[in-house]
Amino acid sequence: MSLSRRDFLGRSTLLGFSSSLPAFLGQTARATPPAARAGARETILVVVQLTGGNDGLNTVIPYADPEYRKLRPTIGIAKPDVKKLSDELGLHPAMAGMADLYEKRQLSVIQAVGYPNPSQSHFRSMDIWQAGSTEEDLSEGWLGRAMKQKAMTGFHLAANGNETAPLALAGAPTRVPSLTSLADFQLRTAAADAADQKRQRQLISAATQATTPTPSPLLNFVRRTAAETYASSERLRELSLKDNSTVVYPNTSFANRLKLAAQLIDAEVGARIVYLSLDGFDTHAGQGGGTGVHANLLQTLSEGIAAFFRDLSARGQAERVCLMTFSEFGRRARENGSAGTDHGSAAPMFLIGPKVRAGIVGQHPSLTHLDAGNLAFTIDFRRIYAAILTDWLGIDSDPIVGNAFAKWSELFVS
């Protein structure tokens, strides 16, 4: 029997919730932050999940290592094409925007990140990364637990309805709303007049507050979700998102969601955690080299992030933001016969933002000492989580990732 409790309940905890509303509903807008001191406003974490297992070896490329070419005869990136970070390492040629952020000292590469006995199942490994734990039954996320410890507002920006709320955010005291677009985030009615509309909305909301007790966790879940949704939708409707930004974003769903993130950050609704994903990294066949499927994904990632930080700078918000990328695993060191790569393990993470200590953290994994064909990890991802929690969000990481994982120090500048 391999259905876990969480498989049944889905990506949200049904029990043990208070029925309070999302944190930002109760707050007055933070329109008057103590802006006198730089960085005094509360920090924000934007998590970008690369779904499917990003090929780290063709993202941060050890171009000077002759082994690289042997492992990647058809999909390897030619030496002159990489965006050089150092004498050994370079970014994929499609990542000009992120290379530029590295030049500006706003990007750090954390190498060979992973965990012991890595799972090569997409779903299990993604759960491990999102929960920050390798325990058997995972029902809470590392960010959900962080929000339990400290009241923070989170938003999940979904690409479409297919994308469900991530486990990473489960366990938060109130459910993190998923948004696709602000325009669609309202309850419509076919009302005769304004009074009718008000009455209908009241009636629809009231049905979520039924006093009839129910022992059904699913019904309670629906009622609570609905109650929180209607309240959030009212609040965001009232928000005048003054959007004076003229920064142009690439025309991708990913970039549009980063733009929505910038709007939410700038609207001062108290957003501190923003979570979004970019899917398509499961490149088993025909992944391409300098151009092609994987290159397009990295370009979408890099250009979106570059536009996001341009926009945040224009809005005077960049210093508050750290963006983190991760994937459930990297890919097999040696390419397969389909000009693609099978599931692997260790891979790099990126941390990006003006307050990130730029540079390259750790060693590139050896291309000769492989672990069953996979790159071996040297940095446990929970040490990076611990650093982000303590040094960026100001939260004790022990209750979240456990004290076995000391924070990786000096990832941020003060």
Q: How far apart are CA 3 and CA 317, in angstroms?
A: 43
Is the CB of 121 or the CB of 409 nearer to other proteins?
121
Nearer to other proteins, 32 or 160 (CB): 160
Q: Which residues contact 176 (CB under 8 A, 6 or more apart)?
A: 22, 144, 147, 154, 155, 156, 165, 169, 273, 275
d(CA 151, CA 161): 27
Residue 245 C-beta: closest distance to other proteins, Å: 23
Q: How far is the CB of 54 from other proteins (least distance, A)?
A: 15
Token pair listed for 375 = 């790159």
- In the complex, what is the shortest distance from the CB of residue 78 to other proteins, in angstroms, rounded to a whole number? 23
Shortest CB 33 distance to other proteins, Å: 26
CA distance linking residue 286 with residue 254, whole number of Å: 23
C-beta of 2 vs 28, nearer to other proteins: 2
Task: Give the helix, strand, coil percentages of the chain, each rounded to 5.
Answer: 35, 15, 50
CB of 406 to other proteins, least distance (A): 30
Q: Do the strands 271-279 and 153-157 form a parallel or antiparallel pair, or are they unpaired? A: parallel
- Closest distance to other proteins from the beta carbon of 6 (Å): 9
CB closer to other proteins out of 72 and 156: 156
Q: How far is CA 235 from CA 228, 229, 355, 385, in A?
A: 11, 10, 31, 32
In single-letter form, the type of residue at position 395 comes to I
d(CA 383, CA 381): 5
- DSSP conformational letter for 154: E
> What is the smallest separation between the CB atom of 289 and other proteins, expressed in angstroms?
16
Cα 29 to chain centroid distance, Å, stands at 24
Q: Which is nearer to other proteins, 10 or 362 (CB)?
A: 10
Give the C-alpha separation, 59 to 329, whole Å.
13
Distance CA 351, CA 108 (A): 5
Instruction: Rank residues 64 and 227 by Cβ distance to other proteins and give the closer one.
Output: 227
Residue with Cβ nearer other proteins (218 or 248)? 218
